[in-house]
Amino acid sequence: MQARLTRKLMAMVLGGALFTAIPAVAGADDAATLQGAEQAAYLDGLKRLYLTDNERNALLAHSNALLETYALRAGYQVGQAQRQDLLYRFNVGNVGNAGELILREESRGAQGTAISVRNQRVAVFGIDPFIRYECPTGGIRCVLFNPADGSPLLSIVRDHQGAGELAKALSFLIRNVQKG
């Protein structure tokens, strides 16, 4: 009886070791499949969240919602000489400019009286869609960089998780626009 229980226990231990070792031995094709499945799940989740069947509309809505949530407002800039709200919004270029994103930057003074608006075109064809960002330890903002030339693209309030989620959404949006 004891020998049979010992054999069953050994079989369970060996089986468990086999199942944990299999992912470590998995090839690059399996990793690509998992990554593709993860991307599909991310996009499906966004489409359900924003009640649309269009990936681009879901990505735009999510990116703009994140920009609104993590906007660098004057209230966060305590002790700064010229406090201002920095608000951003992305759109996709119209038919003539289909291969670019348009970033609208609106800055308002602390009192809300002085408003300036700037539009920046970001061409997406031929660039790496990965968005790089930095959140300096001593600062109040995270900066996301333009993938085309590495220049600062936009600033949000200092939040690593928010910057990471925004960079991910923008990377997916750039890939979507690149596909056409």
Per-residue tens of pLDDT for the chain, all 180 residues: 444 544 454 445 444 443 444 333 333 344 444 468 889 999 999 999 999 999 999 999 999 999 999 998 876 666 666 777 889 999 997 755 678 899 999 998 766 678 899 999 999 999 999 999 999 998 888 999 999 999 999 999 999 999 999 999 999 999 999 988
Distance between CA atoms of 71 and 162, rounded to whole angstroms?
A: 10
Which phi and psi angles does 26 have, rounded to 5°?
-60, 145
SS3 at position 82:
coil
How many angstroms from the chain centroid is the CA of residue 136?
18
Amino acid at 13: V
Domain ranges for the chain, please list them: 48-179
Could you give the CA distance from residue 153 to residue 157 in angstroms, rounded to a whole number?
Answer: 14
Gap between the Cα atoms of 173 and 170, Å rounded: 5
The helix-helix angle for 55-69 and 28-49 (nearest 10°) equals: 70
- The pTM assigned to this predicted structure is 0.76
d(CA 132, CA 98): 23
CB atoms within 10 A of CB 140: 15
